[in-house]
Structure 1
Amino acid sequence: MIAGANFYIVGRDPGGMPHPETKQDIYEPSHGGKVLTMAPGLTSVEIIPFRVAAYNKTKRVMDLYDEDRHAEFEFISDTRMRKLARSGENPPDGFMATKAWKVPDGEPVVGFKQ
């Protein structure tokens, strides 16, 4: 606000934080935006939430999530992406551009060493 910001775009985090026992997301995808709207010091900043996107298994593309068609969607986490990279697998067709996943020598871009 001191720098002149009038808007703050809020993404999904912490929506993808799993409960240690149930492994279900602790927060709903819009929770981060809701929390910020309640912050007393942010009254002059407009909070703009992202619409949730997920992989649409039917269309085989990334798409805006529709709760009414939940079975058509798959949320692909960073953890899953790292597992795919370590095992040499590719993400589902349409999830991202193949060129973005591969580097020139054919190794996955997200092949983190852990």
Structure 2
Amino acid sequence: MKQHEKVLEDGVLDPETTVVSIFPSPMHYAGPTEVQWHAKARIKQGLTFTLLVETQLAWAIQLRNVICMMQITVAAYDKTQGKMAFFDASRPQDFVFISGTKMRMLAKNKENPPDGFMCPGGWKVLVEYYDSLVPTTSGKVPVAVPA
């Protein structure tokens, strides 16, 4: 919630027209499991549609008779504009895809994303959160090793 507060304070979103609500689960699943969880939660709430990107198409087949899939354009960091933008396949070299995993790793290691990727106040909240979790002698949070 602190990060959402900073995004509103920094003017990324208009506080007069933005509604902030809490989704009923922490965002820690990552990957297809998290995507499926969100789709199932939407179905439970009576929604008949969800947005998806191409990487989510494999699991979407399982839900095709239950929920209408609406494909969206993928956003990525545009190095030429210094901000997030819709991916343009005619100039792939100009884009950087920063996954949630990559973003969390940057924050855990107190590194910054490219300028324009996120408002500074929102990024600071994320870095402070990870800084509060695991103090280490190297100043870096260890990378999780898959089991």
TM class by shorter chain equals 0.5 to 0.7
Flag as ranges the 4+ runs of structure 1 deviating above 3 A: 1-4
Q: Which amino acid aligns with 2:106?
A: L
> For structure 2, which runs of at least 5 residues remain unmatched after alignment?
1-42, 135-141, 143-147
Identify which of 22, 26, 32 aligns with 2:56.
32
Q: Which amino acid aligns with 2:68?
A: E
Cα distance in 1 for partners of 2:44, 2:102 equals 39
- Structure 2 counterparts to residues 70-109 of structure 1, below 5 A: 70-103=92-125, 108-109=127-128
Give SS of 1:67's match. coil
Q: Does the CA-based 8 Å contact 1:6-1:45 persist in structure 2? A: yes
Question: What residue number does 1:20 align with?
Answer: none
Going from structure 1 to structure 2, the CA distance change for 1:85 and 1:5 (only over 3 Å counts) comes to closer
> For structure 1, which runs of at least 5 residues remain unmatched after alignment?
13-29
Q: Which amino acid aligns with 2:78?
A: N
Going from structure 1 to structure 2, the CA distance change for 1:67 and 1:84 (only over 3 Å counts) comes to same
Q: Which amino acid aligns with 1:98?
A: P
Cα distance in 2 for partners of 1:33, 1:102 equals 34
Of Structure 1 and Structure 2, the greater helix share is in: 2
Aligned length: 91
Q: Does the CA-based 8 Å contact 1:7-1:48 persist in structure 2? A: yes
Going from structure 1 to structure 2, the CA distance change for 1:46 and 1:108 (only over 3 Å counts) comes to same
Q: 1:6 Cα deviation (Å)?
A: 1.8
Q: Does the CA-based 8 Å contact 1:101-1:110 persist in structure 2? A: no
Q: Does the CA-based 8 Å contact 1:33-1:48 persist in structure 2? A: no
> What whole-Å deviation, never above 9, does each CA across 1:7-48 have from its counterpart, x for those lacking one?
1222x4xxxxxxxxxxxxxxxxx0423652x34x63353211
Cα distance in 2 for partners of 1:66, 1:50 equals 13
Q: Does residue 66 of the first structure (1) align with residue 108 of the second (2)?
A: no
Give SS of 2:51's match. strand
Higher relative contact order (CA 8 A, sep 6+): 2
Identity %: 34
Cα distance in 1 for partners of 2:50, 2:103 equals 28
